[in-house]
Amino acid sequence: MNPIKVMVNGLPGNVTQMIATHILRDDALALLPYSLTGPDIASDQVVVENETIELIRPDRRDASIMAIKDTYGPFISIDFTHPAAVNSNARFYCTHGLPFVMGTTGGDRQELHDTITKSSVSAVVAPNMARQIVGLQAMLAHGAENFPELFQGYTLEVRESHQQGKADTSGTAKTVVGYFNAMGVDFSDDRIQKERDPEVQKQQWGIPEAYLGGHGWHTYTLTSPDGTAVFELKHNINGREIYVEGTVRAIRYLEKQIREGVQGRIFTMIDVLKAT
């Protein structure tokens, strides 16, 4: 079978460089030497594993993508860019018939859903690409569906910490809050405590210095009305390897759906998890 062709967008970001590196080392995948990037990126190219990748800013992408499609044929796009670009990027992919895997959080998620389902493009969209965290979310989803009053009256505290460059509140934290809402907890996303200060992360959270530039620490604390019962859920991830591994699985899953002729569908990492 021919390698799955992949275009990794969002270079020279840290996550995308790791994904690009993995693809270059995987014989079942083939990396296109192009990447859509943001308007603030000054460089015209980036080198990954001795491979030069041309960076395409928004003002050139419509013209460039036609030539890329003519040269390489069908391929899957990977989107780890910026929350502000979520909806415009999705419209771009759908307009040009580019199936994609999107790990970018933020944006108008309902608009994102509508853009995909009204197009001929299928995509894997997930605020978290880590399979293990997605599995944990699936367990919480089961609880939300089957035990709607499990934590009725409980108070919830949510603390999340990510690298300084992450602009928005964790999409994973918001998803988990939604499950607890369904289990009877009164809590809104704007009460999530977001930490982005490296000194605070190091001194107060105890996050290893080596991972201040790339981590995702989350703690959810539920307390009963009288304070006699406390439940705590925690998932702390250092580095980005866990997300890269999940993204590669999402690529393979989406390619299979495309071969089977699926169009206009949104898949989640739970779909990927069930298939692997």
Using a 10 angstrom Cβ sphere, with 0-12 exposed, 13-18 middle and 19 or more buried, the burial of residue 238 is: middle
Active site annotation includes 162 = yes
Quote the tokens at residue 4: 């799955």
Residue 63: CB atoms within 10 Å = 9
Catalytic residue among 22, 162, 215, 218: 162
Active site annotation includes 256 = no
Using a 10 angstrom Cβ sphere, with 0-12 exposed, 13-18 middle and 19 or more buried, the burial of residue 260 is: exposed
Catalytic residue among 166, 174, 215, 218: 166
Residues 17, 43 contacting (CB under 8 angstroms):
no
Could you tell me the maximum CA-CA distance found in the chain, to the nearest angstrom? 66
Residue 69: CB atoms within 10 Å = 14
**Residues labelled as active-site residues:** 162, 166
